Structure 1
């Protein structure tokens, strides 16, 4: 009945349970000891877990920060130019939104010959050049502390946040950076030495807006400098008027596109009166655009159509509609072409094809502006020779407006059928002796060369009677008839015919 104990386990040998003895078994609490051991193990485990947590905390924090870092990286890429790593246009717009341009201007610098460089040297050279320009600006920024921040906002346009002091200091900064940049030879790819041309536009200095308007002002100033071929333009009050013109031009772009899309390019016809025969003998076709019941005239849309590359489309429509209109009519008619039309292979080919198709046989007259013909003499002569082979006639338009070259009229007299005397020589011919002398001399020249004359801007009876008495072949102007969308004869012509058949 010996008992055993080692402090943890307790035992006692019992020989028999059947002797009838009353046996009392007495054990020390095993539960208490085991509980203490368990608590000790738990405590050790807690310490281990704490140690692991402390060691793992940087890793946890790193992985927890990945989404935030990724978001920042995406935002950085969104507001950074890929090529130069400079802040981009989005970055500039955000800075303006956050009002970070207090006491500052926006300077826009356009590299104007980048397309020529790309055409000559290729795209990769142009990219390296732009990187070199960006590095140049970063170095220059260290020298001129007024250049606070540099952006690349377009392919060939950089922007600067500039701390404004006064006009004199601004001019010095602008002239210095432009001169240094244009006089520098950039060595690209260790092979090409390239110089650049620049144009600069600056936001207004009278009011420092510290908002998106500063960028708009700089863009307007840059556009003006590019159009007028100026080195530098600073926004001022005169640009407000230009801004209104830009708005009007945007509306006219809409009108041009709508007219082309919805068949609202319309042709008006102004009569040309034979002073000897006493009748309307021919018509000049004049283009108009219709938009919401309003009529627009060429000087309102032609130049804009060239900028938006719709001029060629308009020219084709004019040819098509005019030719179709006169297809089955006996009248002679004329269309106006510019040297731009003549030099364009597509327009020239289209014109010749339509002439052959309709076969007008001496009823089509091509009117060409005199000054353009002088400036492009060779192209002009080649064109009129081709036109004459197609049995068409040639009229020189606006002769006498500014400088007039009589020499080329004499040389090309075999190809010229009509010479239209500019309205500036006709509007006061009944009272101005100098214009009477000039027109008389011009008429004598044309008579000698067998070229018929047409007086433009015949606005009243006095002018009409005078030029008729001078022996001018034809009259055109509001007295004869305004441009109309149908062929009409003025009432006075009908009345005079009824009163006196010998009036003419």
Structure 2
């Protein structure tokens, strides 16, 4: 604004300065016996002309400045909304898992109760997402009322999971009473579904932790124990951590080692399309295929990290997927943890395989955020190295945490993949639209292409296209398969 005032003063007073200079010029000409009336007329005309030009320039600058101020305010509002919504669940409007973790850090003795709606995936699949959402909102309303009894906050922390968090010094007996009351209220609860003209019965399983450190993880262990032992609820105890979790980890560790030894780690490929419906690339996804049954990575990837088998799986996927695309002109994207990029063994292996198969221009590396992302210099060094070879870079699951905004400028990706939680209900949810619109606004300014994940219906696909997203991926467009399906377009 101060600059604009200075420009205004310069433009307004410039004719006056011109008049003064002109008067000196007239005085000079008078000494040369030039007609004074003629000189005054010329001076007035010139002054008026200069004034008109100056006013035109000022009006143009003023309009540009006002437009710029307006755009800045709009961008500021979008960023503000984006920050707010990153801490809210889009469907229930409850604070999300990120908000829960930050609130835990502020508490002295945080206590958590976790709720899981049993077989919710089956309900969602059989009755559809609208009915599933109705049930989630019904459970939310019940928990909000119940939470008032002991001044707790309700969070949605997963697709079918809620949490209650509080910081009071209630003892285990009091919590046991609360959980028994919860179970009584929710066990075999009938929820009337107006759209179906019938009721659906739900069951819940509950896990709780009253310990201050690693409260959420311990509540999750208790929840898992309650499910495995078919109990309504369970409290965290150290014995659960050492027995149940260890047994589960051993089981999956053996399965992973056996799969690697038997060459059962198989890359699956899900197609990605552009706005014109043209196939542009595939995402490479891991599966364990045993006896013609494909096991999802959700079941084994976390364990593979804990038992130091993740790098071996990554190497198998890289070898097999690079070998496949080297025989085609297809492009693939492949997920990498920051730990892969900061591990010299894995990072050198990736570079060697890119050179061996000559696929640099066919590869997009998708960065998954983990604890090693903080080692930005090592990660960035690796990315700069492969970028010089022709490899493209993407940030995966963008929008799920505010931290990945800070990595955006530092890592300079070619793509950002907008997280599925923002895309899932974008055809009906105004908050999703607002957040995605803000992401699109700054990604376009930074010349970064956007990819929508979880495109599961025609309505979602059309809305994503309308908003201006560049590329699309999801079960509506194509499911993952073990071969590079030759689809030129939708």
Larger RCO (CA within 8 A; separation ≥ 6): 2
TM-score by length of 1: 0.48
TM-score by length of 2: 0.50
Greater Rg over alpha carbons, structure: 1
